[in-house]
Amino acid sequence: MAATTAQSALSQEEQTFADRTIVGHCGKPGALLGILQQIQEHHPHKYLTAEILEYVAEKADIPLARIYSVATFFAQFNLDPQGEHSICICRGTACHTHGSRSLLQRLRHELGLPDDDAEQTSVTTPDGRFSVRVVACFGQCALAPVMEVDHAIFGHVNEQTLERELQHLGRTK
């Protein structure tokens, strides 16, 4: 019953892609991680819909509760649509000593996002243009402070370079 509802909410293309992905990973170690990673990447807003999770549960024969457990456990998985551009500030020790905390605060301020001491979740601007998140460490410590914008790593970031990058991305504010 649940599968039919899920199926009807997904496009044919989404179903085909999911089927292929599941078959490709079936039986391999880390299959579920790989499946969810590929499906999320495939979605234009880089997130996992409730329907796709139900679909994967049915097709991969894994309990939905477990899939939900995995999807919520790992920071990489998004259950909400992400912005067009993703900006990730590194909050590792080396970056912290080079001022990444104030960089993060500045970024949030520039995008009109509330300050969040917990720094836990990914936050998206209301207009859907930018998502801001943090990572514990990129492993690029000699480039501290580090920022990743849409899969590109920027090192030695300061307020000027941050501002310039935001301008480049066409921030409207």
Partner 1 sequence: MAKLLSARPRIGVGMGTCGAGNGAEGVYQSFAELIDRQGRDVKLASVGCFGFCAQEPLVNVRIPGRPLVILRRVDASDAQRILDDIAAGRVTEDLALCKIEEWDHLTAHVLYGSGYPKIPSWQEIPFFKPQKKIVLRNCGLISPDDIEEYIAVGGYQSLYKVLIDAHPEMVIEQLKASKLRGRGGAGFLTGLKWEFLRKAVSERKFVICNADEGDPGAYMNRNEIESDPHSLLEGMIIGGYVMGASEGIIYVRAEYPLAVHRLNRAIEQARQSGVLGDNIFGRGFKFDIHLVEGAGAFVCGEETALIASLEDYAGRPRPRPPFPAQEGLWRQPTNINNVETWYNVAPIVSKGPAWFSETGSAKSAGTKVFSLVGKITNTGLVEVPMGTPLKTFIYDIGEGGPRGKHVKAV
Strand intervals (E) in 91-154: 123-124, 130-135, 147-149, 152-154
Q: Measured from the CB of residue 74, what is the shortest distance to partner 1 in angstroms? A: 4
Alpha-helix residue ranges (DSSP H) falling in the chain: 2-9, 12-25, 31-42, 50-60, 64-73, 93-97, 100-110, 159-168
Residue that has been written with the tokens 């085909």 in this structure: 16
**Which one among 44, 151, 170, 172 touches partner 1, defined by CB under 8 A?**
151
Site for partner 1 contains 79 (CB under 8 A): no
Which is closer to partner 1, CB of 18 or CB of 94? Answer: 94
- Report the residue from 9, 79, 153, 169 that binds partner 1 according to the rule CB under 8 A: 153
**Residue 24 makes contact with partner 1 by CB under 8 A:** no
- Comparing CA positions, the residue from 168, 169, 149, 145 lying closest to residue 158 is 145
Which 131-150 residues touch partner 1, going by CB under 8 A?
135-144, 146
Cα→Cα distances 54→6, 38, 63, Å: 6, 16, 9
- Count of residues in the chain: 173
Query: How many positions of this chain bind partner 1 (CB under 8 A)?
Result: 40
2 lies in the binding site for partner 1 (CB under 8 A): no
Measured between alpha carbons, how far is 161 from 144 in angstroms, rounded to an integer?
Answer: 13
**CA–CA separation, 86 vs 9, rounded Å?**
27
Stretch that binds partner 1, among 9-17, 22-30, 101-109, 110-118 (CB under 8 A): 22-30
DSSP 152: E
Q: Binders of partner 1 among 33-52, rule CB under 8 A?
A: 33-34, 36-37
- Choose which of 76, 102, 120, 158 interacts with partner 1 (CB under 8 A): 76
CB of 81 to partner 1, least distance (A): 18
User: Which spans of this chain sit near partner 1 (rule: CB under 8 A)?
Assistant: 28-34, 36-37, 62, 66, 69-70, 73-77, 92-98, 135-144, 146, 151, 153-155
